[in-house]
Amino acid sequence: MSARIIDGKLIAASIRERLRDTVAAFTQTTGVTPKLAAVLVGEDPASQVYVRNKEQACTKAGILSEVHRLDEATTQADLLRFVARLNNDPSVHGILVQLPLPKHIHQITVLDAIHPLKDVDCFHPENVGLLFQNRPRFLPCTPQGIQVLIRESGTAVNGAHVVVLGRSEIVGKPVGIMLLQKGETANATVTICHRGTRNLPEVTRSADILIAAIGRPEFVTQDMVRKDAVVIDVGINRQNNKLVGDVAFESVSQIASAITPVPGGVGPMTIAMLLENTLSAARLALKNT
Ligand code: NAP
């Protein structure tokens, strides 16, 4: 194996440690403790784990966290009323509605109902618009985590060709836009791929930085990666009771110059960025009072 491992767990831990001090200083000077409210509808086991991890991470960072566990049968109207209550609660700075929602609830309607100043996931169209115009209010958590990992690994992004596999609203599209913008750890030439992309291996082989976010276990094989490319694996797939990424780690790490593992790569960064966004939301709330 020749690739350097980009250790997301370690990088996220040091960010969270720094953040704990920043939160403590913020609370001391303002008298305000940042608070995140998470809403979990139903019993999805993976979502339960994610929400529990976020709750523990908040506590360790000195951020208040409340988790609202709502019944699977909660109606959309009831959920919207619940979100409105959190929007109007001045003690709540960030609101997170854990996805996926039960099928009878229209996800976009609920996400659009979150107050843009409390939208710590950066899903609201107002915040996505600001992000696209390179004047972000919040940066979406997973894309921001990817950008920080790339920066911390010392990878040059300016002028590089970044290929993003996947065009979801949560990962692929926003990370592509963020790395395309003029700015630090950005200014790349970006190609975003999807199921309709022709000659996919040819496109991925042209990447200096390859970001895989498609949700297919070990889809990216060695022949799809250029020698010495930097590979960021966003995928979280359960295979034979094991977590694997979207990249065939063993073979790809033989030719990449640096690579993120799964688990321990992008995942821990997402939570760290959520904490940062909650602090930003608390700052915003203070500015607007
Ligand atoms: P998603 O909404 O399912 O989107 C998948 C994207 O991949 C789509 O754009 C799809 O193309 C594309 N795709 C799927 N199969 C493909 C193929 N064979 N060839 C080319 N493109 C293909 O997924 P997501 O929410 O972005 O998540 C992607 C992965 O990241 C999942 O494993 C998820 O669990 C993981 N994830 C991890 C974190 C973290 O914190 N580490 C956070 C979020 C997501 P079309 O648009 O053409 O359908």
Using the atom order of ligand 1, give the atom closest to the CA of residue 167.
9
Q: Counting beta carbons within 10 angstroms of the beta carbon of residue 73, is it exposed (0 to 12), middle (13 to 18) or buried (19 or more)?
A: exposed
For ligand 1, is residue 245 a contact (CB within 6 Å)?
Answer: no
In CATH, the number for domain 141-267 is 3.40.50.720
Q: Mean pLDDT across the stretch 109-118?
A: 98
Q: Is 121 a catalytic residue?
A: yes
Q: Whole-angstrom Cα distance, residue 197 to residue 22?
A: 44
Ligand 1: which of 168, 221, 273 to mutate, most ligand atoms within 8 Å of CB? 168
* DSSP bridge partners of 35: 64
Query: What is the distance between the alpha carbons of residues 139 and 23, in angstroms, rounded to a whole number?
Result: 18
Q: Could you tell me the maximum CA-CA distance found in the chain, to the nearest angstrom?
A: 56
Helices (H) and strands (E) in the chain, counts: 10, 11
Residue extents of the structural domains in the chain? 30-115, 141-267
CA atoms within 13 A on the CB side of 205: 8
Q: Which atom of ligand 1 is nearest to the CA of 172?
A: 26
Give CA–CA dist 123/135, Å, rounded: 15
Q: Which fold has domain 30-115?
A: Rossmann fold (3.40.50)
- Rounded mean pLDDT of 36-48? 95
209 CA distance to ligand 1 middle (Å): 17
Q: pLDDT at residue 52 above 80?
A: yes
72 neighbors 43 (Cβ within 8 angstroms): yes
d(CA 221, CA 28): 50
pLDDT tens for residues 220-247? 999 999 999 999 999 999 999 999 999 9
- Has residue 1 got a pLDDT over 70? no
pLDDT at 286 over 70: yes
C-alpha R_g of the chain: 19
- Whether 30-115 and 141-267 share one fold: the answer is yes
- Categorise residue 164: left if φ over 0, alpha if ψ from -120 to 50, beta otherwise: beta
Determine the Cα–Cα distance for residues 269 and 107; give it in Å rounded to an integer: 24
In testing the pocket of ligand 1, which one of 54, 194, 260 has its CB within 8 Å of the most ligand atoms?
194
**CB 237 less than 6 A from any atom of ligand 1:** yes
CB 166 near ligand 1, within 6 Å: yes
Tokens (6 digits) for 220: 């990216």
Q: What is the pTM of this model?
A: 0.97
C-alpha to C-alpha distance for 66 and 58, rounded to whole angstroms:
10
Of these residues, 121, 208, 233, 246, which one is catalytic?
Answer: 121
* Percent of the chain's residues with pLDDT above 70: 100
Q: Is the CB of 230 under 6 A from ligand 1?
A: no
Annotated catalytic, 54? yes
Report the separation in Å between the CA atom of 13 and the middle of ligand 1, taken as the mean of its atom positions.
Answer: 26
Start-to-end CA span in the chain (Å): 54
Active site residue 239: no
Residue from 35, 98, 144, 181 carrying the catalytic annotation = 98
The rounded Å distance from CA 215 to ligand 1 centre is 5
Buried-state track 44-68, b at ≥16 Cβ within 10 A, e below 16: beebeebbeebbebbeebbbbbebb
| pLDDT surpassing 90 at residue 289 | no
Mean pLDDT, rounded, for 117-124 = 98
Per-residue pLDDT, 214: 98
Say yes or no: CB of residue 272 within 6 Å of ligand 1: no
Per-residue pLDDT tens digits for 65-93? 999 999 999 999 999 999 999 999 999 99
Q: How far is the CA of 147 from the centre of ligand 1 (A)?
A: 17
Residue 208, φ and ψ in degrees, nearest 5: -80, -35
Set 54, 118, 181, 208: catalytic member: 54
The string of pLDDT tens digits covering residues 203-218 is: 999 999 999 999 999 9
Q: What is the pLDDT of residues 134-170, one digit of tens each?
A: 999 999 999 999 999 999 999 999 999 999 999 999 9
